[in-house]
Amino acid sequence: RCAQVCVNPPQVLSGEGAERHLQRLRQAALAAGEPLPEIFLDPTYAQATHFRLCTLQVRSREGSWPLRGPLVPDGY
């Protein structure tokens, strides 16, 4: 049951994974000039979202290959 809820490949591939929702909430708070909710200040959250290796995979019907650089300053 947990695997059905936590990992949904079609949602993840379309940018609708759980981490995207959290990132949007964080960006909304920053854009509004509001203090960040506690979850975003937790060291565990920072560690869990610090991806040194970008393995982004994006499907394209047009045959193009979108490129993306490192997600963090010390990444590749």
Q: Minimal CA–CA distance to 40: which of 54, 53, 28?
A: 28
Please state, in angstroms and rounded to a whole number, the distance separating the CA atoms of residues 10 and 48. 22
pLDDT at 56 over 70: no
Residue 68 has φ and ψ, to the nearest 5°, of -145, 135
Distances (CA, A) of 54 to 17, 29, 33, 46, 50: 16, 25, 29, 16, 10
Question: Average pLDDT in the 7-28 region?
Answer: 74
Please state, in angstroms and rounded to a whole number, the distance separating the CA atoms of residues 71 and 51. 6
What is the average pLDDT score of the chain? 77
pTM of structure = 0.56
